[in-house]
């Protein structure tokens, strides 16, 4: 069975697109990414939340913002905080290692 993972950060420029690119190559996994800030490369939409089985956010503040902004569509959604600070470039090797270490335990 295919799992749908949504990765969320602030601007959708570095962390969440890196996660999307890495995990989209995994078998039985569909991935998407978005940002919570207005002006994000891809701004998070209600449709993306409804589509996702699991939502990964990079920081606690993202979970808080997600809860406030999308409370009505988050019902029953699993939201996981990865605790990855905004200090990495797109596809940074350290970021990739962190993402793999923290996300892989949630894969079926």
- Indicate the helix (H) or strand (E) that contains 79: strand 78-81
pLDDT at 107: 83
**Residue extents of the structural domains in the chain:** 3-106
Q: What does the pLDDT average to over 18-24?
A: 97
User: How far apart (Å, rounded) are the C-alpha atoms in residues 37 and 62?
Assistant: 10
pLDDT at 1: 84
User: How far apart (Å, rounded) are the C-alpha atoms in residues 101 and 103?
Assistant: 6
Question: What architecture is domain 3-106?
Answer: 3-Layer(aba) Sandwich (3.40)
Q: pLDDT of 30-85, one tens digit each?
A: 999 999 999 999 999 999 999 999 999 999 999 999 999 999 999 889 999 999 99
User: How far apart (Å, rounded) are the C-alpha atoms in residues 82 and 74?
Assistant: 18
């Amino acid at each position: 069975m295919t799992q749908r993972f949504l990765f969320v950060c602030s601007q959708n420029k570095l962390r969440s697109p890196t996660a999307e690119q890495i995990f989209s190559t995994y078998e039985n996994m569909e991935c998407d990414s978005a940002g919570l800030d207005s002006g994000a490369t891809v701004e998070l939409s209600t449709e993306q939340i409804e589509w996702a089985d699991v939502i990964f956010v990079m920081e606690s503040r993202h979970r808080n913002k997600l809860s406030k902004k999308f409370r009505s569509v988050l019902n029953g959604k699993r939201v996981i905080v990865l605790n990855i600070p905004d200090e990495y470039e797109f596809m940074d090797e350290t970021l990739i290692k962190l993402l793999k270490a923290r996300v892989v335990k949630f894969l079926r």
